[in-house]
Chains A and B, each alone.
Chain A
Amino acid sequence: MVVVSEVFKSLFEGFGVSLEIFALTLLFAIPLGLVISFGSMSKFKPLKYFVKFIVWIIRGTPLMLQLIIIFYGPGLLATWAANSGSANPAILWMSSWQVMDRFLAVIVSFVINYACYFSEIFRGGIEGIPKGQYEAGQVLGMTKTQTFFKVVLMQVVKRIIPPMSNEIITLVKDTSLARVISVYELIWAGQTFIKSSGILWPLLATGIFYLAFNGILTIVFGKIEKKLDYYKN
């Protein structure tokens, strides 16, 4: 018979991986999202359309598919290239590609995916600030950069908190997609017991972890919103 403490030990192990995916994705996706949002607002047209094209691809396809392509893609192309027997240098180079580490593939896919979603939230936040504020800044003799960082940025932060908390809570649950490419995480930890011992409740118990963590996030974001409440606009 399976001991409860044993089950929770492996659930915590799986939860640890889920948290790692969560934290690393946020760490890299927020700055990358900001870069992408600047790209999509650029006055340099080719860059703007290129960035919008990428965002369309990433937001327009399931994250599950992106995981599969990013992890298996290079290895499958390498096998194809090696079997093609072509002497083309590009194809020869392709045949040396290898699959990357599974966990790395998860982080790469999640960061690209979430950065694209974040970028649109940032763009909405930045473009939502009235132009008059930049003009006022100019009148006061501030440069555009100064106006952005000293006047605009904190207002943007305040405005994007609710949509960001939405995305971030979704991210917590999306970490369960990592198992598609066999990265051990919370849901898989729970499912293992169905196979090995024929018991179901550990899988159902994983819900407690997601709920508790998202509960904490909800409280934190509520506090942040309150703190920024002194900006009335």
Chain B
Amino acid sequence: MKKKILAIVMSVVLVFGIVCAFTACGDDKQDDGQKIVSDMEYIKEKGTMVIGITEYAPMNFKAEDGSWTGFDTEFAEAVCEKLGVKAEFFVLSDWDQKVNELNSKAIDVVWNGMTITDELKQSMSITDPYVVNAQVIVCKAENAEKYNSLDAIKDAKIAVETGSAGEDCVEGFANVTAVAAQSDALLEVESGAADVCVIDITMANAMTGKGTSYADLTKTASLNEEQYGIGCRKDSDTCDEINKVIDELMADGTLDKLADKYELTLVK
């Protein structure tokens, strides 16, 4: 009998433990459910906007003293100041998780030179475009002549970042490998696993050439032009609020100064 009771107690403990694990141990901050809080109100109530980034020069990167800097860093800080919230940068390890990160409210916006694609528009609300970018082909310098157009790389082994605009450029090509990050795509080319990779021009400028591990890589043709936007939760009012602030910052010249500083082209 004693055993049976022990067994029952143990099963209750187990079930409780598992339920607990799956519900983040009942963090009982119930908004009594009825009141609907808009996304912007939710962020303002917290007082901080958690901004999902990856380390990506010249948009977000570490300065000499270890603090964050870059075009998007300064841009985000300016916008947050106008919105009256604190900007908190959080580094995502996996760019592919950005929609999950948003929807689970682990972060509030994705703001990291994100190329606007139709695919992304389905899973998040994206602000007006602010910077123009292009996808470029990167290959070993000795092959630069060979891989100088989209047609020329049709049969080459191509590496792209999964879910990136570069991947869309080469859709349907025979030998495409999708890797976790743009820097991994460069590694594929450097190691000889791929002949070329298709990545952002901003990334290619920062990561190839003298003083890097990719000194023997070079960029050749520039493929489609594209635009950067800021990703918010789907149908969130935060998107409209940020758009308003962007208009203000465009008008008063703040963004022009930033674009000059980081050698980027604004969308006008």
Residues of A within 8 A of B (CB): 1, 35-36, 38-39, 42-44, 46-47, 50-51, 54, 68, 70-76, 78-79, 92-93, 95-100, 102, 108, 112, 179-184, 188, 191-192, 194-200
Residues of B within 8 A of A68 (CB): 97, 100
Alpha-carbon distance A36/B18, docked complex (angstroms): 12
Which residue on B lies nearest to A42, using beta carbons?
A: B7
B14 interface hit (Cβ, 8 Å): yes
Count of interface residues, chain B, beta-carbon cutoff 8 Å:
51
Please state if B10 and A197 are interface contacts (CB–CB under 8 Å). no
Residues of B within 8 A of A93 (CB): 30, 33
Residues of B within 8 A of A (CB): 3-4, 7-8, 10-11, 14-15, 18, 21-25, 27-31, 33, 54-57, 61-62, 90-94, 97, 100-101, 103-106, 181, 183-184, 186-187, 190, 207-208, 211-214, 233
Alpha-carbon distance A36/B189, docked complex (angstroms): 48
Residues of A within 8 A of B15 (CB): 50
Residues of B within 8 A of A179 (CB): 93-94
Q: Kindly identify which residue among B11, B184, B233 contacts A50, using a CB–CB cutoff of 8 Å.
A: B11
Residues of A within 8 A of B33 (CB): 92-93, 95-96
Identify which of B31, B33, B187 gathers the most chain A CB atoms within 10 Å of its CB: B33
27 contacts between A and B (CB under 8 A): A36-B14, A42-B7, A42-B10, A44-B4, A44-B8, A47-B7, A47-B10, A47-B11, A54-B18, A68-B97, A68-B100, A72-B103, A74-B23, A74-B104, A76-B100, A76-B104, A79-B104, A79-B105, A93-B30, A98-B24, A99-B104, A100-B25, A180-B93, A180-B94, A194-B184, A195-B207, A198-B214
Residues of A within 8 A of B101 (CB): 72, 182
Which residue on A lies nearest to B24, using beta carbons?
A: A100
Q: Separation in Å of the A112 CB from the closest CB of chain B?
A: 7
Please state if A72 and B100 are interface contacts (CB–CB under 8 Å). yes
Please state if B106 and A72 are interface contacts (CB–CB under 8 Å). yes
Residues of A within 8 A of B18 (CB): 54
Please state if B23 and A97 are interface contacts (CB–CB under 8 Å). yes
Residues of B within 8 A of A182 (CB): 90-94, 97, 101
Alpha-carbon distance A194/B92, docked complex (angstroms): 15
Q: Kindly identify which residue among A70, A76, A180, A198 contacts B212, using a CB–CB cutoff of 8 Å.
A: A198
Please state if A78 and B93 are interface contacts (CB–CB under 8 Å). no
Please state if B104 and A72 are interface contacts (CB–CB under 8 Å). yes
Residues of B within 8 A of A51 (CB): 14
Q: Separation in Å of the A27 CB from the closest CB of chain B?
A: 16
7 smallest beta-carbon distances between A and B, as pairs = A75-B104, A198-B212, A92-B33, A44-B7, A100-B24, A179-B93, A182-B93
Q: Separation in Å of the A183 CB from the closest CB of chain B?
A: 8
Please state if A43 and B3 are interface contacts (CB–CB under 8 Å). yes
Alpha-carbon distance A97/B24, docked complex (angstroms): 7
Q: Kindly identify which residue among B7, B106, B187 contacts A75, using a CB–CB cutoff of 8 Å.
A: B106
Please state if B105 and A196 are interface contacts (CB–CB under 8 Å). no
Which residue on B lies nearest to A89, using beta carbons?
A: B33
Please state if A98 and B25 are interface contacts (CB–CB under 8 Å). no
Which residue on B lies nearest to A111, using beta carbons?
A: B21
Identify which of B90, B181, B213 gathers the most chain A CB atoms within 10 Å of its CB: B213
Q: Given that A50-B14, A182-B94 are known contacts, is A79 also in contact with B7, CB under 8 Å in the complex?
A: no
Which residue on A lies nearest to B191, using beta carbons?
A: A200
Residues of A within 8 A of B62 (CB): 196
Residues of A within 8 A of B94 (CB): 179-180, 182
Alpha-carbon distance A1/B90, docked complex (angstroms): 25
Residues of B within 8 A of A43 (CB): 3, 7
Residues of A within 8 A of B104 (CB): 71-76, 78-79, 99
Residues of B within 8 A of A184 (CB): 91
Residues of A within 8 A of B54 (CB): 195
Q: Given that A38-B10, A51-B14 are known contacts, is A196 also in contact with B57, CB under 8 Å in the complex?
A: yes
Alpha-carbon distance A42/B11, docked complex (angstroms): 10
Alpha-carbon distance A74/B84, docked complex (angstroms): 29
Q: Separation in Å of the A114 CB from the closest CB of chain B?
A: 14
Which residue on A lies nearest to B30, using beta carbons?
A: A96
Residues of B within 8 A of A199 (CB): 212-213
Which residue on A lies nearest to B56, using beta carbons?
A: A195
Please state if A194 and B183 are interface contacts (CB–CB under 8 Å). yes
Q: Given that A47-B11, A76-B100, A179-B93 are known contacts, is A198 also in contact with B181, CB under 8 Å in the complex?
A: no
Please state if A74 and B22 are interface contacts (CB–CB under 8 Å). yes
Identify which of A35, A47, A112 gathers the most chain B CB atoms within 10 Å of its CB: A47
